[in-house]
Structure 1
Amino acid sequence: MRRILFFLGMVVLTATSAYAGHPLITDDAATQGKGKGQIEIGSQYSTDKQPAEEGFGSKTRTGQVTATFTYGPIDGLDIVVGVPYQWSRTYLDGQFDSRAVGFGDLSFDLKWRFYEKDGWGFALKPGVTLPTGNSGKGLGTGRTTYHLYGIVTKEMEPWAFHLNLGYIRNENKTGQEKNIWHASVAAEVEVIKSLKAVADVVVEENTTKGSNTPVTYALGGLVYAITDKLSIDGGVKFGLTKPSADVTYLLGVTYRF
């Protein structure tokens, strides 16, 4: 059960933050614009070592590929739909113990940019996740969850900085904490033409009831624009606290239209 809860925690944390500009977790205040959109395929692979209840060491390997569709029906407003496919394998004392494979919880978000001036951007992003994943296998929460993020962006060429503050109502069937708070900051800088370096630090309340240790991690990565419409990215995320996955590798591709 502890290993399932750990994987469920990873599902909650990734599902509610999957729509930032990959590989960042922190979102920016920009929107697509009227009649414009993008399709993003983001992938991640994580490894984590945790002590099991039985007293043996355990290792969990998890992966996820998320297809995210974003469209701007009007200026300043985006509709975002995310479909995750997930898998995990757990090893107990060096031996294979369990696995789970399947689609996760479907996500819907709206991002409303209500202010933009002098390099500043402010946005709100409410959203829901629907219980389409198998909660018994750790692929979903089993209930509809809700979240709201406040987003601030400041652009100072060649730099851009982003701040996210959020609340997640983590309805679930597995005894997890239901009220989750989120805070994150990110920075981007254009290193050379078409190449950006990005960094992210995230702190989020632990989904395990009774735990006072937050999920905290740092991320570094690169984004390369092949053309104005097509970009690829990669990054590495490092857990800074015990509840966080030890290491996560991220790869993505984005097409804009």
Structure 2
Amino acid sequence: MRFTVLPRRWALLACLVLPCSANAFFPFDFDDADTEGKGKSEIEMSFAYQKDRAIVLNDAGDEMEVTTDASNTLLWSYTYGVTDNLDVFINKARQGNPYAGWQNTQVGAQWLFAGDQNRGWSFALMPSLILPVSQRSEAKGLGSAKTNFELIWISSYVSSDYELHFNVGYSGNRYSRSIEDEPRRHLWSVSVAPIWVLNEQWSLGVSLGAATNTDDTGKYTPFGQFGISYTPIKDVQVGLGVMVSPNWRKTDGSRSTMMTAGLSYDF
């Protein structure tokens, strides 16, 4: 399972961010094709801290000032296995800074439609609805006051020593109010993530990809993430991750960095 409900500017980066489900390598933003299994559940809780660094240049290209913005978000997710091949999930997130409030809720399902999720290749689809926040919350930057749709295609390869995951995602990005810099309404993302299984308790991996930029500063935004996962006891997983997204249209060092830490429990 994985989270996608993050600060809105990261929603596309986490495979079009707002929480999703289905047993991905926690704490990564991608999804894997694995499902919970009939009658089984999973709960995730995590904390995300994001820092944006931007450099303002004058007409001559000289540096005038460096600005930084920071935000933090608490995330919750619950997944239930309806059948061995079908999960349903709900995700919530609450931002604490710079504006406190609930972000968009996401509800959806994951359908494993081909392959063996325990070994070799498997394939899944994950459709979901991103439910609206209030117009007041939208004005604060806590999400969209319109309902949006998200769809992720997932392909996973699993062996005893390593895993490989591919995600291709689409998300609507409609807002109810007029925004001065009108954001793109259709967001796409693609990512690949190799995971190394060190032993029964430890795994580590990287995730590399690109996503549609929400504004006109560039067509795409690249991103990379490193994560490590530890299983202290059966059905409990602890994860730490760092994601970096540089502005590849500039060479001034502008970038966004996100750190995540969390816990998942299967029962």
Which TM-score bucket, shorter chain as reference? 0.7 to 0.9
Q: Deviations over 1:190-222 (max 9, x none)?
A: 1133111121112110111x3334222111111
* In structure 2, C-alpha distance between the alignment counterparts of 1:108 and 1:202, rounded to whole Å: 24
User: Residues 147 and 163 (structure 1 numbering): CA distance in 2 closer, same or farther, change over 3 Å?
Assistant: same
Which of 229, 237, 245 is equivalent to 2:235?
229
| SS of structure 1 residue aligned to 2:100 | strand
Which residue in 2 is equivalent to 1:103? Answer: 102
| SS of structure 2 residue aligned to 1:246 | strand
| SS of structure 1 residue aligned to 2:210 | strand
Q: Deviations over 1:132-163 (max 9, x none)?
A: 26111100112111111100001122100000
Give the CA deviation at 1:253: 0.2
- Verify the 8 A CA contact 2:26 2:237 in the aligned structure 1: no
**Structure 1 residue 171 and structure 2 residue 174: aligned?**
yes
Which residue in 1 is equivalent to 2:3? Answer: none
Q: TM-score, normalised by structure 2?
A: 0.83
Which of 221, 226, 231 is equivalent to 1:220?
226
Equivalent positions of 1:234-253 (< 5 A) are 234-241=240-247, 245-253=255-263
Bigger drift between 99-108 and 127-136 goes to: 127-136
For structure 2, the 5+ residue unaligned runs are: 1-6, 59-63
Q: How much is the aligned-residue C-alpha RMSD, in angstroms?
A: 2.2
Bigger drift between 235-244 and 136-145 goes to: 235-244
Which residue in 1 is equivalent to 2:76? Answer: 67
Give the CA deviation at 1:56: 4.5
Equivalent positions of 1:51-90 (< 5 A) are 51=55, 56-88=65-97
Give the CA deviation at 1:11: 4.8
* Count of residues paired in the alignment: 240
Which residue in 2 is equivalent to 1:23? Answer: 27
Bigger drift between 126-135 and 47-56 goes to: 47-56
Considering fraction of residues, name the structure with more strand. Answer: 1
| SS of structure 2 residue aligned to 1:192 | coil
Which residue in 2 is equivalent to 1:130? Answer: 131
**Structure 1 residue 155 and structure 2 residue 165: aligned?**
no
Q: Deviations over 1:164-188 (max 9, x none)?
A: 0111111113331101111011111
For structure 1, the 5+ residue unaligned runs are: 1-6, 89-98
- Verify the 8 A CA contact 1:17 1:26 in the aligned structure 2: no
| SS of structure 1 residue aligned to 2:234 | coil
Instruction: Indicate the percent of aligned positions where both proteins have the same amino acid.
Output: 25
